[in-house]
Amino acid sequence: MQNEVVSREEWLEARRALLAKEKEATRLRDSVNAARLALPWVKVDEDYVFETPDGRKTLADLFDGRSQLLIYHFMLGPDWDAGCTGCSFLSDHVDGALPHLNHHDVTWVAVSRAPLDKIAAYKQRMGWQFPWVSSFGSDFNFDYHVSFSPEDLAKDKVFYNFTPMQPADANDELPGLSAFYRNDKGEVFHTYSSYARGPEELIGTLMILDRAPKGRNEDSTMNFVRRHDEYEEAAKAPSCCH
């Protein structure tokens, strides 16, 4: 199906109308960003410990000497054979940003409940460099509402994206992004979390596709996405992060 074809003058009129909406969206985004920065913080008193390639580390250690920490809750459970397709799609965009984030006093770390050897194998397969640690045996994923036990999924509701939801719509692992701050005293604060489609703006490919003639050209959220080494296989399974 092709869009209406018009004269250059008619196109310019329509484009200017869209530009007004784009400017409105930019101003709204600036307002949302300001409100995000103004959120109150919660002190983290739990002693979370993670398995890393350099040994066991606390949440405070993950900051790696910086004051800000972004944790991507990557869907890779202890019994999973491969990482979530959608999480992998987002993570394909991280390595190039690392020097800029680190220079700006921000550390990026992916966290999954899978054991470290399984994380390392999948990370090698994907060719990624960003830090990725295991929270296996910790309550971290459960406390931040991105992992759910069989007992959780047997209940009437589970809590995800700040809302009770039907267990049938959930999974044992779900995606998210959480932000933390560490002050000069070494105290750690939880400042922000975002789930479901919340971190979507981190996926630059989607932002580029939004400017293409056919846009995302999807039947459901990110159903066209594959792991970057699987496109030749033309797999039909949808993303698990929709």
Tell me the per-residue pLDDT of 109-130, one tens digit each, with 9 for 90 and over.
Answer: 999 999 999 999 999 999 999 9
Average pLDDT over residues 59-77: 98
Query: What average pLDDT does range 207-211 have in this prediction?
Result: 96
The pLDDT, as a whole number, for residue 236 is 52
d(C-alpha 131, C-alpha 45), whole Å: 23
Place of tokens 């993303």: 239
pLDDT value of residue 239: 55
For the chain, what percent of residues have pLDDT higher than 70?
96
Contacts of 1 (CB under 8 A, 6+ apart): none
In whole angstroms, what is the distance from residue 122 CA to residue 42 CA?
Answer: 33
pLDDT at residue number 37: 97
Helix, strand, coil shares of the chain, percent, nearest 5, are 35, 20, 45
| pLDDT on residue 99 | 98
Going from the C-alpha of 13 to that of each of 10, 144, 157, 183, 190, the distances in angstroms are 5, 47, 49, 51, 46
Q: With a cut of 80, say whether residue 58 has pLDDT above it.
A: yes
What integer pLDDT is reported at residue 235 of this predicted model? 47
